[in-house]
A = this chain, B = another copy of it.
Amino acid sequence: MLYSQLFSKTTKQAPEGETAKNAELLIKAGFISKSSSGVYSLLPLGFRVLQNINSIIREEMNAIGAEEMIMPSLIHRSHWKRSGRWDVDVIYVAGDRNDIGKKNRDEFEYGLGWTHEEVIADIAHHMINSYKDLPKAVYQIQTKFRAEARAQAGLLRGREFLMKDLYSFHADKEDLDRFYQIVIEAYKKIFSRLSLPVLVTEAGGGQFTKEITHEFQVVSDAGEDTIHFCTICGFAQNKEIFDAQQHGSCDGVLQSARAIEVGNVFKLGTKYAESFDLRFRDAKGELKHAIMGSYGLGPTRTMGAIVEVMHDARGMVWPKAIAPFQVILIALNDDNKKIATQALRFYRELQKAKIQVLYDDRRGMGAGEKFGDADLLGIPHRIVVSEKTYPDYELKNRTETVAKIMTAKEIKTFLKKDNL
C-alpha cells in the first residue's frame, strides 16, 4: 500500500477529552476517529488490525467446533421482558420517534443488543428438541451497545464496541464443565497468538450467574478492575471475591494490580432456557431444560489493551500477528531519482513476495517526520532506502535502536521467515 493513498493522517494531538493512552495513540496515528463520546470509527489502518484480531478469534472458535452466525442489534422489548432484563441501566432503547414520544417508559420498541442470551435462547428453542441435538456451540462477532454514563477510556469502555460472543448448550452440567474448560484453553491460545499476557482470574458472576466465573485480565494501570494474583502458582481472583485463604500452599507472594478485562466465561445454567422454554427430551424421553454457557471476548477492547501494554514514548508497538503492515519502507532524499526508483522497485518486489508493506511515498516531507510516523504507527519492521547504503538497505525492528545493512535478497528471506 502507498501511504499517499491511505485514508489516514497522523496528527500531533488527540482531541480534547481523550485522556486514555490507547485513544491518544490510535487517534494520533490515524487508526481510529472519534465520532462522539465512547463511539469511534475504525479507519483503514485500525480496521486492518481489527480484522487480524478477528481472524485469530475465528480460527480458534472454529477449531473447537463452534459455528459462526450473526444476531440482530434491534432486540424487541418482548425478548428482554421474558428474561427480566428490560429495565437494566446499560440498555439503550430505540424506536420510531413518532411512536416513542407518545408512549410511556415501557413502550420503546427495542433495546439495542448489549448481550444476546435472549436472542440465542429464543432461536435454540427451535433448534434443540432432543439430547441428540446437544451439545451445540455458536458464536458471532457483532456490535454491542451500552449506555455508559462516562465513556472516557477510548477502546477500553465504549458505548458501541465489538464483541465475540459464544453460546453453548448442553444436556447436563458435566458436559458444560467439559466445554467450559475447552473455551478457557481456546481463549489462552487466542491471547497467546496476540502476544497479550492474560491472567485467568476467578470472579463473581454479576447479574449473569451465581457460579464462580473466569475473567481474562491484562495487568495495566488503565484497567478498571483490581485483581489479586500470584506469579508462581497462577492463582488470581478479582477484588470482589478475593479471599487470601484460597491461595493454597504456594510460597508465592500475592500481588494486587489494576487490570483490563478482555474476556470472560460464564456458566449460565438454566436461567435463559427457563425464560425461553428451551427444553429437550433426554434418552429416557423426559423433558429437561438445556444448560447454557456464555463466553465473551472483546476484539476492540483487546485492541485498546494491546496499545495500553505495548507502546513506548515514540508510539505503538504492534505484535506482528496483528500489525496493519509487516514492514514500512521509507526512501530518504526521494527527489533523488536513483533512490526513488530503487524504493519503488523494491516495494513492488516485496508485494510480489506477499509481504504486507506500506511504502511511505508522501512527498515534501522530511526524513525525521517519516521516521516519527513509522514509530507512531508501530509497524514491526522499517526499511530505509538511501544514498548512504545504496544499493543495499537498512532494516530495523520497531523496538531496536540499531539498524542492519542488508541486501534486497537478505531482507526478503528474513521477512518471509518472520511472516511464518
Contacts and interface: CB of A to CB of B under 8 A. Distances in A.
A136 interface: yes
B132 A7 contact: no
Contact of A67 (B7, B105, B159): B7
A160 B75 CA distance: 10
B132 A4 contact: yes
B132 A363 contact: yes
B101 A92 contact: no
Contacts of A70: 41-42, 47, 50
| Chain A contact surface mostly | mixed
A8 B138 CA distance: 11
A126 B33 contact: yes
A114 to B, nearest CB: 12
A69 B41 contact: yes
A35 B143 contact: no
A127 to B, nearest CB: 5
Contacts of A251: none
Contact of A127 (B7, B89, B149): B7
A295 to B, nearest CB: 15
A40 B76 CA distance: 11
Contacts of A79: 35
A73 interface: yes
Contacts of A339: none
Contacts of A74: 35-36, 39, 92, 145, 159-160
A35 B71 contact: yes
Contacts of A47: 68-70
Interface in A23-57: 30, 33, 35-36, 39-44, 46-47, 50
Nearest to A41: B71
A90 to B, nearest CB: 9
Contacts of A145: 73-74, 94
A340 interface: no
Contacts of A136: 5, 7
19 contacts: A7-B127, A8-B127, A35-B71, A35-B72, A35-B74, A36-B76, A36-B78, A39-B72, A41-B71, A41-B72, A41-B119, A41-B123, A44-B69, A47-B68, A50-B70, A73-B143, A93-B95, A94-B145, A97-B108
